[in-house]
Structure 1
Amino acid sequence: MDDEQDPRQRFAEECRSARELFPERRLNQTQLARMVRVSKSTISRVEICEGPIPPDLPPLLDQVFSTDGLFKRLYEQIAAGSYPAHSRRRMMLEPRARAISEWSPTLVPGLLQTGAYARALFRAGDPRASERELVHKVGARLARQDILRGSSPPDLSVVICESVLRRNVGGRKVMRDQLAALLGYAGQSTTVLQVLPFSAETHGLMDGSLSILTMPDGETVVYAESIRSGTVIEEPSRVRQLARAYDVLRASALSRDASADLIRELMEAT
């Protein structure tokens, strides 16, 4: 079966097969659930493709079954499939990138969002979404952040507009917790977080958000996104032009320390 065609079904089949063929003894669902610290009903739902997969389950399955990241890779494919078609390729490339540069003029980038912040965005974007749909969407978004927690996270550069920090998403507590999370990321050695102040002048990336992904082979691709559409750009001259615009944007942003000071000031005032 092709992983990309139906990774959810493949995930279920691999879980069931690995459980039944466990080297020491055949495991039932209850035994596997104890080993990965979830309920039996969770394992049952996973194996019949019902409901979302808990984000922390795939690496635990890989550990128990010694499957060298198989379940994590399948989960990444499942998560990518939950995004709009125009952004799925970006979601597939992101976990493999060795460096990521982000510009966001309107929202905290998905890689840095808290669950409550993401939930507020999804709720506002689709008021009729069911609770199950919201849980699934939030889980998929938070699963992207696994790449920042591994032993070899990508070098991450993020520039956000000052308006992102001042826009109240989800209420005071949600926003305060989100600002605190940004400070946590800003303190990591592999992350450079900068704020573009209101005082900055016109720049070349004013019409949308941008992600620059540098892959292990050195190839660089750009994902540009507007409100309801996005595109992966690979043409070398266009990539260089956008990368240069990002460099100019960084030069116009507050320093790393000044950005952290502003975030801290707004958090304390929230």
Structure 2
Amino acid sequence: MNAETDGTGGADGAQDPRRQFAEECRSARELYEGGPLTQTQLARMVRTSKSTISRVENCVGPVPAGLPPLLDQVFGTDGLFKRLYEEITAHAFPERYRRRIELETRAISISEWSPTVVPGLLQTPDYARALFREGNSRASEAELASRVSNRIARQEILANSTPPDFSVIVCESVIRRRVGSREVMQEQLSALLKHGTRPTTVLQVLPLDAGTHGLMDGPMSVLATSDGATVVYTEGIRSGAIIEEPADVRHLSRSYDVLTATALSRDASAQMIRKHMEAL
């Protein structure tokens, strides 16, 4: 998935999860069971700074990814702040992408095919920035920074204590095509190698000579959630679609399985990525 916005979401008042997060934080702090907490006291309890708490309560800047579960722990709010944070993350994207992002945060497994660029969940900040810059040459530095921040924030799901099973297949052209400078691309390929060593991640490369296959039309993700639902997400240049029809999901999932069998093994994929990285 490759389109993020500035994170405003266009919402107001109680419909804005960012504002609700701020109000809930302030309210929980002031109504704390042991007596009202100052921002300094709360900051100490959640291992952050007073200025961070102040920014969160005044809707200034993003909510740090590690803060919501700590607030839930301190206030005993049974996942309230975690749920609001997931809504904030989803609202950082155009409406047509939000359901995919919401499903992404709840997924127990994600299988992704990308024929053109490194998937957003694996991009480095500089790689993402180079893509955004090419996609909109008129974007301001602030806009670029916000979009990169939103994209990198999505990667928190792979770093938490219970990450989803994550399978990724990229076309060989993805690792061959230089995005940004030589240094940017080397850093990105190095990051891919590191991701490939994670026990919950399987990273494969589909060679250019692999021939035709059923997913040549574009990128695709298969997302399965703990409630047993499985959906497919497909994306165009300016559009994204969720596919839920069981027969279509089954067909596309099968196409992904065939692609998995056709792609290089994990070790051979890592060797190819390392070879291209060293050749830059």
Q: TM-score, normalised by structure 2?
A: 0.88
Determine if the alignment matches structure 1 residue 45 to structure 2 residue 55: yes
Closer/same/farther in 2, CA of residues 240 and 166 from structure 1, 3 Å limit: same
What is the match of residue 235 of structure 1? Answer: 245
What is the match of residue 182 of structure 2? Answer: 172
CA contact (8 A) 2:14 2:20 kept: no
What is the match of residue 33 of structure 2? Answer: 23
CA contact (8 A) 1:61 1:71 kept: yes
Per-residue CA deviation, residues 106-159 of structure 1 (Å, 9 max, x unaligned), is: 111111112222222223223333333333322222222222122322111110
Alignment of 1:95-106 (within 5 A): 95-106=105-116
CA contact (8 A) 1:52 1:136 kept: no
Alignment of 1:173-212 (within 5 A): 173-212=183-222
Which SS does the other structure have where 1:261 is aligned? helix
Decide which moves more: 60-69 or 117-126.
Answer: 60-69
How far apart are the structure 1 equivalents of 2:62 and 2:224?
30
Closer/same/farther in 2, CA of residues 170 and 4 from structure 1, 3 Å limit: farther
Which SS does the other structure have where 1:192 is aligned? strand
Closer/same/farther in 2, CA of residues 147 and 46 from structure 1, 3 Å limit: same
Alignment of 1:107-256 (within 5 A): 107-256=117-266
Alignment of 1:67-82 (within 5 A): 67-82=77-92
Decide which moves more: 99-108 or 42-51.
Answer: 42-51
What is the RMSD of the two structures over their aligned residues, measured on CA atoms? 2.2
> Gaps spanning 5+ residues in structure 2: where?
1-11
Which SS does the other structure have where 1:204 is aligned? coil
Closer/same/farther in 2, CA of residues 164 and 217 from structure 1, 3 Å limit: same
What is the match of residue 61 of structure 1? Answer: 71
Q: Which amino acid is 1:195 matched to?
A: V
> Gaps spanning 5+ residues in structure 1: where?
none
How far apart are the structure 2 equivalents of 1:200 and 1:189?
27
Shift of 1:97: 1.2
Which SS does the other structure have where 1:165 is aligned? helix
Q: TM-score, normalised by structure 1?
A: 0.91
Which SS does the other structure have where 2:209 is aligned? coil
Closer/same/farther in 2, CA of residues 3 and 111 from structure 1, 3 Å limit: farther
% identity of equivalent residues: 67
How far apart are the structure 2 equivalents of 1:28 and 1:132?
32
Shift of 1:262: 0.8
How far apart are the structure 2 equivalents of 1:25 and 1:269?
62
Which SS does the other structure have where 2:169 is aligned? strand
How far apart are the structure 1 equivalents of 2:161 and 2:64?
21
Which SS does the other structure have where 2:250 is aligned? helix
